[in-house]
Amino acid sequence: MVMVPKFIILLYIFLSLGLNPSRAQTWIQAALFTHLICAFANINASSYQLSVSSSDDQHFSTFTNTVKQKNPSVTTLLSIGGGSANHSVIVSMVSNSSHRKSFIDSSIKTARLYGFQGLDFSWGSANTSSDMSNMAALFQEWQAAIDSETGQSKLILTAAVPYSQYSESSTYPIDSLRTNLNWLHVNAFDLYMPKWQNFTRAHAALYDPTRNRNTDFGIESWINGGLPANKLVLGLPLYGYAWTLVNPRDNTIGAPASGPAISKSGQISYKDIRNYIQSYGATLVYNATFVVNYCTVGTTWIGFDDVEVVKVKVSFAKERKLLGYFVWQVPYDDNWLLSQTAVDVNGENGTEKKGRLSLIIILIPVIGILILIGALKYYIRRTKNKKKDTEYKAKNSKSKANLMTKAGDFNNNAPNLMDYRFSDIEVATNRFSFENKLGEGGYGPGVLSDGREIAVKKLSKTSTQGFEEFKNEVMLTAKLQHVNLVRVLGFCIEREERMLVYEFMPNKSLDYYLYGVTQGLLYLQEYSRLKIIHRDLKASNILLDEAMKPKISDFGMARIFSKDEVEANTHRIVGTYGYVPPEYVKKGLYSIKSDVYSFGVLLLQIISGQKTACLYGLHENLSLLEFAYELWIQEKGMEFMDPTLDDTNSSCTLLRCMQIALLCVQENANDRPTMLQVSSMLRNETTPMANPKRPAFSKRTNENDELKRSNVKLEICSIDDSTISEVVGR
């Protein structure tokens, strides 16, 4: 019986580098990959058939046979197009049915002729709605032609696509991709380049709290668009980019730059980056916010993916249940370091490592060696099993002792907290069933044996939150008592898990209701004996009880200030994309104005019913904040509002909320109001309000805004009739 690998691993070989198959098969470590992709074949501009030059013909014709001599389990694919392909030729081909047929027939014929087991289509410049509809037709006809073949194993059909389903002016044809392709190669790199941006950037950022141009957003867009996660293969770039810094002292991500460094495009392979670091003794920095490595030598700044990044990205792919990952491209690696790292991560957290690797291991055609290796493995396994029994008993004893110490530490600092057993929480949440899931890592309602309803926050094992941060959240939430803060009941740290047990809020997350959040923030910033900066205020961290009363939750990222402290600095940026203010992202500065910024974003979400991780406007090129501001200065604020919100009693209510929100999300922290001022503006219709400046991270400047606003006359009217709760402890 042939097992299908659960996690496929692909390797691109670019023949224009002079890497021919006869050389490739001698050094490719097949145990690191399940598939090899030979790139690229072109399209003839007149016949629209697959075009293979005479120089490439000898490589293509021998590629599969040569590779399989030592790597028989590896599947080979031929990739067509690529970044240097002629866009106009592809457009002409896909827009005409007879041209498409000519291309499809020749591609299948070429694959069969050269022994490739699949075809990959790489058209990264597709952009218009016409391109997308024609692409859909191409894949439908291509798959139909493959299905019509008889007497041969079915060809694999894949495509390379950008990091996100959204192009500049259209979206990819999800239905056709899902129906007709085996999987997609998601090119989650080249998001930024020194030729395009005059600021240092993470060109393959996994996350980005400032904008939606990142891998996490892109993968989410494909899945939300209707593409199953198990049809996505994540791209890992084995190269980085070098920028020339304007000021060597300003060398963080987002620092001003004047263009590429080292090479014309700034692109530099991982192997060359490693040599560069060793030659100049550069200090390597890992940024957990964007998930990227970078180093600086004088005015040269290089951003790239090193070992730490690859580990996180492969873990990300596994956690999101993607089909696998691919590397572009293998000659850029340094002695297989990144490729081996990825495979290690792929196997280290599961029990299927041997099963997966057995599918792609190099077979040695010498029976005597196989027998010897088998005997040796049996002996080693027996020895290891005996050793493991002893180690397990010792480790188990030590683990129990550590748990008792940690639990005692919690109880000493917060004696009212319950130390829950893992088995009790498992029963309460029905073994953490999908039906009981509340967002990412949350489960509820769970019912304890005493009948109490609970919600459980279960940290992912790949989470960057360490034990100290988990301890911080437990201690902090236990000490804070307020009607608008979620109450923590206890914790569980058994079986290497980290879980928090909360009172259950039956109405789940606050996505379109607001009032009361201001009171919770006021308590944290002004009225509690501690000044607390939450640092992760967002819609999913505001929960509602039976009476729709909002409560702030999740204090894992919170920090305590003394009453006279104004701001603090950190080198580790935490938070959630779309809610993090610019001074925190760029300089690591956080203050009470950080939470004010997050509150402003939250308020804009509430009154619009829209998400932060999407683009808006006529050309779909504006963030939610920019879109709100543009409509506000044009006196079209009501076009921004969620039509389901009741605004009949006071036509100015939502507009006033909009203005308050825009004041909260201004670029300069000093321009933002305090939560005390925000509360006053919400409660008192006569409280004066300034005109907001452009929101943070805007692509445009404040020029001409005053002119656009000159005719705007905002009325002062009542906010609503809701009662604001008093600030009292409970």
Q: What angle do CA 681, 683, 687 make, to 5 degrees?
A: 40
Q: How far apart are CA 476 and CA 483, in angstroms?
A: 16
Percent of the chain that is helix, strand, coil (3-state, to 5): 40, 20, 40
Task: Name the token pair of 292.
Answer: 């990227």
Q: How far apart are CA 138 and CA 141, in angstroms?
A: 5
Q: How far apart are CA 99 and CA 108, in angstroms?
A: 15
Task: Name the token pair of 428.
Answer: 């309460």
User: Of 490, 485, 556, 589, which Cα lies nearest the Cα of 527?
Assistant: 485
Residues in the chain: 730
Is the Cβ–Cβ distance between 441 and 470 less than 8 Å?
no
In Å, what is the CA distance from 97 to each residue of 87, 105, 134?
A: 17, 12, 9
Q: Which of 120, 536, 554, 595 is catalytic?
A: 536
Q: What angle do CA 494, 499, 505 make, to 5 degrees?
A: 145
Report cis status (omega within 30 of 0) of the bond before 63.
no
User: Of 577, 553, 487, 533, which Cα lies nearest the Cα of 220?
Assistant: 577
User: Of 157, 136, 133, which Cα lies nearest the Cα of 145?
Assistant: 157
Q: How far apart are CA 595 and CA 600, in angstroms?
A: 9
> What SS3 class is residue 106?
helix
Task: Name the token pair of 317.
Answer: 């792919």
User: Of 474, 467, 506, which Cα lies nearest the Cα of 490?
Assistant: 474
User: Of 412, 408, 444, which Cα lies nearest the Cα of 425?
Assistant: 444
> What SS3 class is residue 392?
helix
User: Of 525, 551, 524, which Cα lies nearest the Cα of 540?
Assistant: 551
Q: How far apart are CA 251 and CA 246, in angstroms?
A: 9
Active site residue 545: no
Looking at this protein, which amino acid is placed at residue 543?
L
In Å, what is the CA distance from 175 to each residue of 132, 222, 227, 444, 476?
A: 11, 11, 8, 33, 47
Is the Cβ–Cβ distance between 617 and 627 less than 8 Å?
yes
> What SS3 class is residue 447?
strand
Task: Name the token pair of 729.
Answer: 């402890």
Please list the active-site residues. 536
